[in-house]
Amino acid sequence: MPLVRLKPLLEDAKKNKYCIGSFNVFNIETLEGVIEAAVNADSPVICGVYEPHIKYSSIEIFSNLVKDYAIK
3 contacts 71 by C-beta, under 8 angstroms: yes
Mean pLDDT value across residues 30-55 = 91
CA gap 31, 24 in Å, rounded: 8
Average pLDDT, the chain: 90
Taking the CA atoms of 17, 72, 40 and 29 in sequence, report the sign of the dihedral they define.
negative
pLDDT of 1 above 80: no
**pLDDT value at 2 more than 90:** no
In angstroms, the CA 31 to CA 28 distance is 5
